[in-house]
Amino acid sequence: MKGNTTRLLVCFTGVLAAILLAGASAGAAPQKELPRIVVLRCGRLLDVKRGTLERNQVIVVTGNTITAVGPAATVRIPESAETMDLSRATCLPGLADMHTHLIDDAEGYAVAGPLTRSGAQLAFSSIPHAQATLDAGFTSVRDVGTYRAFVDVALRDAINRGIVPGPRIQPAGAYVTITGGAGALTGLAPDVELPRELRFGVADGTDQVRQRVRDIIRNGAGMIKVLATGAVLTPGSTPGAQEFTEEELRAAVEEAKKAGLKVACHAHGAAGAKAAIRAGVASIEHGSYLDEEALQMMKERGVFFVADPYNSVAIYQNKSYLDEFMEKNRQTTEAQIRAFRRALELGVRIAYGTDAAVIPHGDNGRQFATYVELGMTPLQAIRTATTEAAELLGWSDRTGSIEPGKLADIIAVRENPLENIRTLEQVVFVMKDGKVFKNEK
């Protein structure tokens, strides 16, 4: 009897040990997958902060982050690293466009254009726009407004989830504009009632402005876009005329600030721009008629000038635009060139913005040559789309330069952009967040 009891005890102990071992195995944490390590061997590397062009450099990317940068002879290369040969190219940070409209194309600026397509159609048609922008080397953008509210927010979210390719987006969600203003759909019969998504940001008076801004933020905007003056591509609008009051603009800035967001202000006219500057906006978009006082105010307060002189070329080439648009474009272009040159003389901070879709999506890099023609050095022009743009975005800790700890947003071009700025019009390699989206090395 005693022997049977002993055998039962041994058997029970063995079963219990097996159960505990199985439980331990089942409960054990799965082994973490090691991040992918990629090494870029760059023939030339533009250090946009120091303004130097270094040769035979190596960039080590671990996951989505830059972990080492330096001469190929001294940087330690991990054994598991995958190497990409860019030895015949110039590497530089991913570029950033501070004024895009990825949801739109040129047809969207025709009278009633936004009424001809549903929100779903606009969302799908924006996908190739985002792809073209990324292929052009622009890994980050501010998307500063769409007539159909929050399609840009949906595009940002789809890109962030990896559903579609595109740049990192800071979306405005909707235009904040007065009734019949620069960001409103105008030119329609007076008895046409627009659905709410096509007039979401229309506001009159400080209380309405606050409410609209709060609603836009609640629906996922990453910035706020206000329109302080008339516009070129809005029927019946006078670009130089002020629309929002300073009090209304300040209400928008205050509400955005509570949520940690910045405000971009469309302003052609000097009076509207100065009201916006006093109200505390982060940037003036277009700025065609900026006068000396406005530019001095921007210099003193660190307000960015997002100038888009190249888009006038696209407007002149678009034969579908109204004669009214063409005439307003002629007037504002000449004025903006004068304002741009004076801003450059004064040292006003300038950030790169193209107004795509007014220019074709994917042509974003063509404006660098225009900046240089108007007096910038190639390095200054490149900084407007790297270090300066990153500052305006509030992302200087993540983007704008190639440094350890920054996100791996890296592009490459065939030539030296300090000698030939137009090489930025033909980007051959694009990495965003450590993932390669284009490689024509």
Burial-class residue 193 by CB neighbours within 10 Å (0-12, 13-18, 19+): exposed
- Tell me, what amino acid is at 37? I
User: Is 432 a catalytic site residue?
Assistant: no
Residue bearing tokens 């405000």: 263
Q: Is residue 414 a contact partner of residue 89, using CB atoms and an 8 Å limit?
A: yes
Tokens representing 303? 């307000």
Active-site residue flag, 225: yes
Which residues, in sequence order, are CB contacts of 73 under 8 Å at separation 6+?
56
Rounded distance between C-alpha atoms, residue 279 and residue 213, angstroms: 15
Evaluate whether 242 touches 271 at the Cβ level (below 8 Å): yes
Determine which one of 143, 355, 363, 409 is catalytic. 355
Cα separation values, 379 from 48, 132, 225, Å: 7, 24, 29
> Residue 360 contacts by C-beta under 8 Å, 6 or more apart in sequence?
106, 132, 314
As a residue count, the chain comes to 441
**Calpha distance 303→347 (Å, rounded):** 11
Which residues on neighbouring strands pair with residue 225, listed in sequence order?
A: 175, 264
Considering the candidates 105, 225, 274, 406, report the single residue annotated as catalytic: 225
Active site (catalytic) residues: 225, 355
